Amino acid sequence: MGDRALRAALFAACALLLAACGSTVAGTPRPLRVTDVERELVTSYFAALNEAAGRGVSEQHELLADTQHPDFRDEDCELPKGTIKVQPTMSTLRLDPDWTPPGEDEHPRGVVLVVAVTLTAFQEGTEIGSQIGSQHIVLLNGKAYGFAPCAA
């Protein structure tokens, strides 16, 4: 075997070894998307919140306390005096991995999602205001958590 043939054989062997070291994954890369399970958890969160509002202030406040993200429970939070109904626009639901709650440096544990909502406030059954904005929901251990609308 000549010098040239030996080099060619070594080059081919090295090329095969390098190719074997790399890994390929079948499929097409896509941006992360909200899954159907995550979408259902968010939908159920808002349905429960609105059902609790229909049962009264204390029921809704209890649900808000139970679904407050465990890393951001604040005993000084004064909830609104009435109830709120929240209508999410689910077509706007998206991941928001960089979000932190206002005034906080920590990112919540879990999958952070944001959705556009229409929030309507009621006192003693009378609508007192409506606002369009966005609301963050965090999915953690198979449960949806929010951030209670504390009165300022």
pLDDT tens, position by position, 31-40: 568 999 999 9
- CA neighbours closer than 13 Å in the CB half-sphere of residue 83: 20
Report the predicted TM-score, pTM, of the whole model to 2 decimal places: 0.76
Mean pLDDT computed over 137-146 = 95
What is the pairing mode between strands 143-145 and 111-123? unpaired
CA–CA dist 95, 109 (Å, integer): 14
Crossing angle, helix 57-66 and helix 36-55, to 10 degrees?
A: 150
Rounded to whole angstroms, the Cα distance separating 140 from 31 reads 21
Q: What is the pLDDT of residues 84-136, one digit of tens each?
A: 999 999 999 999 999 998 888 888 999 999 999 999 999 988 999 999 999 99
**Contact by Cβ (8 Å): 49, 115:** no
